[in-house]
Amino acid sequence: MRYPPLTDADRREMLAAIGVGSVDDLFRDVPAAAHLDGPIEGLPLAKSEMEVERIVGALASKNLPAGSVPCFLGAGAYRHHIPAAVDHLIQRGEFLTSYTPYQPEVSQGTLQYLFEFQTQVALITGMEVANASMYDGATACAEAVLMANRLTRRKKAILSGGLHPHYRDSTALLGRFIGFDLVRPDPDPQGGEDLVSLIDEETSCVVVQNPSVFGQIRDLTPLAEACHAKGALLIVAISEVVSLGLLTPPGEMGADIVVAEGQSIGNALGFGGPYVGLFATRQKFVRQMPGRLCGQTVDADGRRGFVLTLSTREQHIRREKATSNICTNSGLCALAFSIHMSLLGEEGFRRLAELNHANAVLLADKLASVPGVEVANDSFFNEFTVRLSKPAAEVVDRLASADQERRVLAGVPVTRLYKNRPELAGLMLVAATETNTEEDMDALVEALREELR
């Protein structure tokens, strides 16, 4: 056996050392109503390691992995090709087992890759400084609103209707417990909302996503100017970071804080995680930036070195002085991001974005020819919204079902993100990346043609 079990004598000795009469005494603080009367129904008793692997494998086989069929899922998590070198390098023991670099003299490797990661994030967002990662895009967005509240000393945030619902919900959860007001316009698939009219002298920030959750692209310069005229900050959220290889960076449009989901670079879908949040801002705001910041310096002999320049997290300083309650970060995912970005380089990153957009344009043209399908966007990067003649959720489920001759993951029904919105029932988000072939697109077109006839 891999792990030698305890004997009854061992247990008696341990209980005596603790000072209790039985194992049950260790749980006496648990309310009686929370106790189970017997084994959990449907859960088998102890199994061998091999048996557990067989059972879990059977459960996993019920999933339909994105790479096993033509896949056009998006809505904040995207399937991209990840070079084999990324996984090979992040699994080296020096990276895989390292943790927070409290001692710079023995953590130079970790500090350097975090410094390079920050540099890459600042460059692609068009900002001056970036931190050493957040949990994911949604929590980074919520932290950005808290930062804006501290900077402006106001407590009202406007969250665009085009902001991903998960980002909106994460921010609202913090607002509920920390205490700040939110203005949340209804979702607008056409991207025609008027956020400028909502800004007043009490507004801390406006949060807008580009491209929006519906795929619409907009010039944010007028919105930034309107925010600054009222003393508010503009926060730009990005759920598809590859778009920064082609679109104007938020920093060039006047954004004060940029947050993004970095999953698309170096990190697989992984059935939902782990992902990596990006966070960048202006130099003048750096002391209110959450998380931590790695800096470059020189040692006593004049050699280049790296240190934690700022680390205002709760585990480091007094809670009331902290800028964030984040107690760790997505370090390994940040490393994967940095390795993949280094392999791409500036030209490769731009080319990757061009491939994504070209595939999306080709797919949109093909879908527009299908009776019962209408492309709703007048602009997009690699994801757009289509309006179907039937409820999108039903269509997606049928095309993914096992009784189909060729299964297709057609897209994400908008009602999966927006509950109790029957007026959105016919809308579906469709994403095309560099991984989609023309054969994949034709499979989706033919499947929809058959389903919607």
Distances (CA, A) of 146 to 182, 219, 338: 12, 25, 27
d(CA 416, CA 420): 9
Per-residue model confidence as pLDDT tens digits over 191-213? 889 999 999 999 999 999 999 99
* Nearest residue to 211 via CA among 246, 181, 184: 246
Task: Pick out the chain residues at pLDDT < 50.
Answer: 1
Both structure tokens of 339: 């390795």
Query: Domains in the chain, start-ordered, CATH in brackets?
Result: 66-80+346-451 (3.90.1150.10), 84-342 (3.40.640.10)
- 16 phi and psi, to 5 degrees? -65, -40
Q: What is the pLDDT of residue 2?
A: 59
Q: What is the pLDDT of residue 261?
A: 98
* Nearest residue to 213 via CA among 243, 183, 233: 243
d(CA 110, CA 408): 41
How much is the pTM? Answer: 0.90
Omega before 31 cis (within 30°)?
A: no
Q: What is the pLDDT of residue 315?
A: 63
